[in-house]
Structure 1
Amino acid sequence: MNRLSRAELAALIEGLADLPYGGEAVDQRTHALQTAAHAVEAGADDELVVAAALHDIGRAGAVAVRHRGMPHEHAGAAFARERLTERIAWAIEQHVPAKRYLVAVDPDYHAGLSPVSVRSLRAQGGPMTPGEVAEFGAHPWATDAIALRRWDDAAKDPSGPVLPLDDLLDRYDRLSPEA
């Protein structure tokens, strides 16, 4: 693995500034750092906080170009498998299926989705089937993806909490190279 440097991670996050977030009230950078802030507030470990910050990294210019034609969650996961950890990659890849899972198992979840997220849910396949629910829920990291999804949904508030970039970078530095 060719681990990201601290400077490369900072450049990726900063490169999201002013990129629209599909009609939401925040840009991609704010959304990333808000998602990470929610992870910190929930007591997530450093690896999951980094995954939260990078869950939409497949939309970043350099990542999207390198993985052209892939849905953002798959492009982000491919990037993470090359430069980060398998757990981070899996959480990134599964944040979209986690939305489909939650719609299928939590009757109140759909009502809390933003209009943009409701529209994208249709394109993403709608609620999971019972078989998909069972398969997803059986994965040992399913709770990570579900938590990340809920932080993702909460991270669309222009006045919401934002994790300072230096805090994210410090958490990244604490990850062991084998993490």
Structure 2
Amino acid sequence: MRIFNTDATIVHTTHEGEHVRRQAIGLGHVNSLALLDVLMDLPVGTPVPISSVDTPNLRVLRKAPGGVVRVAGSAVTRLLMPVVTPVLAVVYASGWRDGLADASEFASYLPRMFVVDELPGNSDEALAEASWYGIGVAVGPPSAPAIVLEPEPLPDWQPTAAWWRFCERVYGFHVHGESVAHV
């Protein structure tokens, strides 16, 4: 997929129940950062008194597409949940510096690595730099690279509205091949 102005493979898992629910009601990916931010504060499937939601957030919820929330009586219930969970971004780079830069774009969202044809001449120093940033490295042709440095998990990672929007855009690409160039 094309994202952050680079081509990347986003390895992800899919929550099949949420995928089937969305397909049944015709709901694709949700791109509104404001809406996802409000939804982050609501539990999934549990009615919340409307009186506990402030007016600006309630306005955002009332504009949500069908299938995102249910407003019934004096309660609002969040129905939407992330449908994919990205677990690794793989960037295919023509050069070492490009690989480091492009893989770094994913630092806030998930572990990442890049694939290059060959290591640079100063391979120990180059791998130490990639390790410093937590970026994994694989070497060889894109069809069968060998991992020479494992990507590191994100330390103290917490989901954010921006992460959820990233997930939604990955889902949009996964289901419909939609462009997700601007996150």
TM-score normalised by L of structure 2? 0.23
**TM-score, structure 1 as length reference:** 0.24
Larger radius of gyration: 2
Structure with larger RCO (C-alpha < 8 A, sep 6+): 1
| Larger relative strand fraction | 2
Higher helix share: 1
